[in-house]
Structure 1
Amino acid sequence: MQLPLITGADPARTLDALFVNAPLRNYDERPRANDYTLPVLGMAYIATYAQKVGGFNVGVLDAEAHGLGIAETAKIVNDAQPRWAAMNLLAPTYEMSARIAASLDPAIALMVGGHHAKAMPDRVLADPRMANLQALVLGEGELRVAALLEDHQHRRELPAVLWRDRLLGTRAVGVPVGKPNPQMLGPDINALPYVNRAFLPQDPYQAAPTETDRRLAVSRGIDLLKEAARNGHMEANIVGSRGCPYNCTFCGAAVSANPDLTIRVRDPENIIGELDELHDEYGVTAFRFVDDLFLGASRVIKTQMEAFTQHRIGERYVWDATGRINVLDRLADSEFERLVENGLREVALGIESGSDRILDAMDKRIDAEMTERVARRLVAHGIGVKGYFILGFPGETHDDIEATVRHIRNLWSIADSNPGDVRASVFEFRPYPGTPVWKTLTDAGHDPDRLLAYGDVDLTADGADESMRQRDEFNFSVGIQFGDVPLTTVRSTLATLTREQHERNQTAQGTAA
């Protein structure tokens, strides 16, 4: 059987499950503009466990990566005829997922998970387009999905698995036999098999050389970096931990939104084993840690860096990671130097705003002065900074948004006189169900249906055509003005900053050439 665009499955066997990542937009109506989209690592973890531990024949259909529309996605699933179709539900893509689900053959059982399913399970269960939904899995799914693939009747024995009794019209919940096994809800992440990259159509990937690569080649002088400055790295995304101890009010990973989630960090030897395996199999020399904790807790940094030093990681690889500004602010210079020696290339920081008032409202536990201090220390050590910023946050004033613009330009100025680079990535605020700010907004009278009405925004009228190319998956809005600043001003400011960042990138590439 031919399985077009389905990755990781054995076409000679019956397909037990097809994991479907819905497109952000209906690409039947217009082509996808991005060249690259982030890999669905969580889905790939579940598929890998089902395949390698459960022995099931499973595949992944990443409709966003392939730029598929709703009709084409549904047709591929129906033609493949898996026993189960599984979808990760996210607020911006929920409508796409529901419309695909409504078009599936009734003989295909449906299971769902993901942040939106966890935040609004009853709404999902009641959606008539989800009529064939046999299991809604709350939280981490590896062990419970494998049990469902073995026999869907296992759902009655599994914790945090829901479904709708169509005869009685009631919500049904799995009841574990005896004492619940905590591993079912939070598996040992060191015991999970490494992600089978065959499930990911765009990871590993060949990356173009960047300004950060060029600066590192000059400042560190390692042959690996000199080669990357010319031809780029083969790169891969990786997860070093699960869970986050912070409570940023806009974030779906906020600790108050995930009281069931146990925070766990992978052992350094387990992580290094995956780095080496990806290098041996695919030639990967650059890694991006996409979890919240790799540079977000002092004890984690210390433990991981001791192992990285022992294995001489910095002589063989470079890597990027997300970090916490307040944690990095407490590091000694010697610890920054150790990060450099171990191959740290760039840190992604949730800076969010240049207004201390808005940062307090976000519960970020930082201020603008701290951010500039940390950024200065990072770039002085030759470590790049990618800063994420939010415009249009509830209660934001014109003064607040102007403070953010000044803050970004200050950070650029700091980078201009140091070996490390600063990149700014700016977004319009979007509310997500289950987050602390969602409750604040609904308690204030906002209609949940309007808060969920995600639509794409075309910012090209502001002259940011090419600079918006790689942002196609991020330009979404619910079309509500949450602060004092009109949406037209929020979006024109966003476009201006994005265009300025794009021009900085182009200038740097021209200088490097």
Structure 2
Amino acid sequence: MPPLSLINGADPTRTLDALFVNAPLRDYDERPRTNDYTLPVLGMAYIATYAREVGGFNVGVLDAEAHGLGITETARIVNAAQPRWAAMNLLAPTYEMSARIAADLSPDIALMVGGHHAKAMPDRVLADPRMANLRALVLGEGELRVAALLEDEQRRRELPGVLWRDRLLGTRAAGIPVGGTSAQMLSPDIDALPYVNRAFLPQDPYRAAPGEADRRLARSRGADFLTRAARTGHLEANIVGSRGCPYNCTFCGAAVSANPDVAIRVREPEDIIGELDLLHAEYGVTAFRFVDDLFLGVSRVITTQMAAFTRHRIGDRYVWDATGRINVLDRLDNTALELLVNNGLREVALGIESGSDRILSAMDKRIDAEMTERVTRRLVERGIGVKGYFILGFPGETREDIRATVRHIRNLWSIADANPGSVRASVFEFRPYPGTPVWRTLTDAGHDPDTLLAYADVDLTADGADESMRQRDEFNFSVGIQFGDVPLREVRTTLATLTREQHERNQPAAGEISV
């Protein structure tokens, strides 16, 4: 009997209205998963929470990636659970996994899909014979429309942004909205949505081992809960503070040109703080990660949120990490940076991407290497950690561009070594995503979409034996194409070298955990 206990959040005594399935990044029947933790599927959990708490439906989440399930086992669990609907979020690297699972599902189970890949290539998904039982393809934010579909499949005819294949005519059909409900359906009021029910997430909240940022914070700020966290780690949770992004980084699926339908919205500070306090009260969470693009990406958002954090003394009770925009942080004065410190900011994740100004311009990043070093110095001087994301193998990249990125990373490490804050470098091989500006550039240049979609995992872990690469195994994917001047083998060697150096830097010095 398949382990139905792996389904999160469902009531086993009731008929299952929908099972939301997060496909694995690769078939773990062929090569077992080596990393211990994967990012939670917050978007899927938002939809499941709304369906349950507002719609009254019995729903569950099967996170096959978090559980390290193979294709066959995932399909067996879904079929054994016998939901009325199976729902999948389609992403380019996992599309093949999702399609193979869908092909193995019982014909009695209706299928709905959403996600970036469904939005970027809806006709391709609808035409895939493995998706034969696909009854609804939902473009964009799904909370309200998924609940409507669970209530009555026929409502798809009146729902905006819902597509399906007409079985008789073989053509694409689309819902036609009735009345003035279109905007609300496509962009729900995010402050009115219920807080994510963590019962749907198998690894969130989670116990994080103490890191360099925790140790440095404990030494510099001295709060009791920081001292405890430096020894035992925090209980941490991921959170979303906004939806949408106003920037147009050419490689990013969230680029504004790829999402003209998305209204950019920021949650009210009191709504966010209410969720922080609820997670602390229910689970004991003391550290939070804001995973959206805007929390430290727009000046007025920073000003509004930090005023509320100060009123509620957030920095005395919690620490938090967030994504940020380098050009926005560069414009903040020292008083604003000190306010972030006092309000508990532990680490900022920055899309640095390259040390080559030529490549940064091609990416439309609106930054240069000098600005990144200036912002990093100002942050780490105040004890704020920096996690920098970098891309190697971008189209048109030369050996000198890659050397510039390596120099840039080592310069950032040197800046951190002289200051209270730390710098972590996370390096990735370039992958093209459909719907992004660079995807259009590549296809216009003659690249075959089928070739650009041929994702495969790359084992840089030596089957789990290389500890420095093991925790990032879920990110080692490639389409196997050399887009720049540097051969892929050389790109991957550079990636692995930087990752191993970072792993060594992550190890605490003897006696350093004692604070």
Amino acid at match of 1:435: T
Question: Which runs of structure 2 are paired with 1:264-303 in the superposition (5 Å)?
Answer: 264-303=265-304
Question: Which runs of structure 2 are paired with 1:31-430 in the superposition (5 Å)?
Answer: 31-430=32-431
| Residues 1:479 and 2:484 aligned together | no
Shift of 1:472: 1.1
Question: Which residue is 1:431 aligned to?
Answer: 432
Residues 13-43 of structure 1, C-alpha deviation per residue, up to 9 Å, x if partnerless? 0000000000001011121111000000000
* Matched position secondary structure for 1:155: helix
In 2: Cα distance, 1:17 partner to 1:462 partner: 35
In 1: Cα distance, 2:462 partner to 2:20 partner: 37
Shift of 1:4: 2.3
Q: How many pairs were matched up?
A: 513
In 2: Cα distance, 1:476 partner to 1:223 partner: 41
Residues 270-289 of structure 1, C-alpha deviation per residue, up to 9 Å, x if partnerless? 00000000000000000000
Amino acid at match of 2:496: A
Question: Which residue is 2:450 aligned to?
Answer: 449
Shift of 1:507: 4.5
Q: Calculate the TM-score normalised by the size of structure 2.
A: 0.98
* Matched position secondary structure for 1:253: coil
In 2: Cα distance, 1:192 partner to 1:453 partner: 37
* Matched position secondary structure for 1:25: coil
Sort the Cα spacing of 1:274 and 1:509 in 2 relative to 1 into closer, same or farther, 3 A: farther
Amino acid at match of 1:78: N
CA contact (8 A) 2:40 2:201 kept: yes
Sort the Cα spacing of 1:108 and 1:481 in 2 relative to 1 into closer, same or farther, 3 A: same
Residues 398-428 of structure 1, C-alpha deviation per residue, up to 9 Å, x if partnerless? 0000000000000000000000000000000
CA contact (8 A) 1:16 1:149 kept: yes
CA contact (8 A) 1:4 1:76 kept: no
Using the aligned pairs only, state the percent identity.
86
Residues 119-177 of structure 1, C-alpha deviation per residue, up to 9 Å, x if partnerless? 00000000000000000000000000000000000000000100001221100001112
Shift of 1:391: 0.2
Shift of 1:510: 6.4
In 2: Cα distance, 1:463 partner to 1:192 partner: 40
Shift of 1:465: 1.2
Residues 476-499 of structure 1, C-alpha deviation per residue, up to 9 Å, x if partnerless? 000000000110110000000000
* Matched position secondary structure for 1:32: coil
In 1: Cα distance, 2:462 partner to 2:42 partner: 34
In 1: Cα distance, 2:109 partner to 2:58 partner: 15
In 2: Cα distance, 1:463 partner to 1:493 partner: 19
- In structure 1, stretches of 5+ residues that fail to align are none
Amino acid at match of 1:126: A
In 2: Cα distance, 1:177 partner to 1:503 partner: 59
Amino acid at match of 1:398: R
Shift of 1:462: 13
In 1: Cα distance, 2:191 partner to 2:508 partner: 43
Amino acid at match of 1:497: L
* Matched position secondary structure for 1:473: helix
* Matched position secondary structure for 1:512: coil
* Matched position secondary structure for 2:304: helix
Sort the Cα spacing of 1:41 and 1:264 in 2 relative to 1 into closer, same or farther, 3 A: same
- The root-mean-square deviation of aligned C-alpha atoms, in Å, is 1.4
Shift of 1:508: 4.3
- In structure 2, stretches of 5+ residues that fail to align are none
Sort the Cα spacing of 1:463 and 1:78 in 2 relative to 1 into closer, same or farther, 3 A: closer
* Matched position secondary structure for 1:26: coil
* Matched position secondary structure for 2:27: coil
* Matched position secondary structure for 1:288: strand
CA contact (8 A) 2:326 2:371 kept: yes
Residue range with higher mean Cα deviation, 142-151 or 451-460: 451-460
CA contact (8 A) 2:34 2:464 kept: no
Amino acid at match of 2:316: E
Shift of 1:512: 3.2
Question: Which residue is 1:458 aligned to?
Answer: 459
